[in-house]
Amino acid sequence: MPQAPVDAPVAKTKPPALPQDYFQLLKPRVMSLVIFTALTGLVAAPGEIHWFLAAVAVFCVAVGAGAAGALNMAIEGETDALMRRTRGRPVAAGRVAKGDAFAFGVILAAFAVMLMGMAVNWLAAGLLAFTVVYYAWFYTVLLKRSTPQNIVIGGAAGALPPVIGWAAADGSLALNAWLMFAIIFVWTPPHSWALALYTSDDYAKAGIPMMPVAKGPKSTRLQIFLYSLVLAPLAVVPVFTGLGGWLYGVIAVCGGLAFVGLAWRVYRSRAGEKPGEREEGLYDVKAEAKTARDLFAFSILYLFALFAALLVEHGIPGAA
């Protein structure tokens, strides 16, 4: 029998996916904000819930958010590979097969929804299922490539976690739950467009009609400012509905003024005018885009501070 030469090339098998690749599919940074807002909704709701079931509810929201992230990455693998911000993701980089990521997302979503329904209530489970489908199918498949309003309409998915938390604790959907939804919903466009202003060349390359690509940077800067004018007063409303106390009120007023001020700076700047304004890191930008970078960074801090205040006021007796 003929023998292969000793130095003949050996067919390489693909290196297997590592556990951290599957963890990355869950979009842990997005998940942390989802957990935080869902927990706030759960704590702020007037209903009584056993601490263990509350922990299960938050766990289900986290797993559901992770499932939505995995499905998004499975569907967007080719697009992600074209953009600097996303090309290192497991599917885009070829470390996890598209089908594996999709199956992982479906199994996690089914698990999260069923457990939420059995352990907590079916209203919260239904909302969780709706959120996963809304993000993974309605936003990722239908909206993202078809309209520059993608992030506005798709923002509802990111705004629902506090409503799910509220439903888990109370079994109902009160006005204050929808108020938290509205704050995140209106916060999403200026937050996302501030980032898009200095990453628009990436979006253009991938063919995604983000606002700076579709309508231009000037129109985007104006819309960021207009949204900030709606967001700042809206964030103060919980003080008048009984949801927020004095601590929340101070943060909402001061943070809102700072938000409008930074949005005004973006409007007056030339952010997004020149291609390639972003350097290697997410926050490393050239001088023209610094106003947009500052607003993007502050917007995260602002939302975090608002919900942290609600969490403290409702979670610590006597803090309100």
Partner 1 sequence: MSDPNQSEAHKARSRRNVALGGALALFVILVFLVTVVRLAQNVAG
Least distance between partner 1 and beta carbon 201 (Å): 37
Interacting residues of 263 by C-beta distance below 8 A, sequence separation 6+: 190, 224, 225, 227, 228, 229, 295
Least distance between partner 1 and beta carbon 158 (Å): 27
Cβ atoms of 47 and 169 closer than 8 Å: yes
Least distance between partner 1 and beta carbon 83 (Å): 28
- Which lies closer to partner 1 via its Cβ, residue 19 or residue 318? 19
Tally DSSP H helices, then E strands, for the chain.
Answer: 15, 0
User: How many C-beta atoms lie closer than 10 Å to residue 161's C-beta?
Assistant: 31
- Which lies closer to partner 1 via its Cβ, residue 16 or residue 318? 16
- Which lies closer to partner 1 via its Cβ, residue 52 or residue 240? 52
Least distance between partner 1 and beta carbon 23 (Å): 11
- Which lies closer to partner 1 via its Cβ, residue 59 or residue 264? 59
Least distance between partner 1 and beta carbon 57 (Å): 11
- Which lies closer to partner 1 via its Cβ, residue 14 or residue 317? 14
Separation of CA 117 from chain center: 24
Residues of the shown chain interacting with partner 1 in the complex, contacts defined by CB under 8 A: 10, 12-19, 50, 52-53, 56, 111, 115, 118-119
List C-alpha distances in Å: 295 to 57, 179, 304, 309: 32, 23, 14, 21
User: Which one, of 58, 170, 166, 56, lies nearest residue 118 by Cα?
Assistant: 56
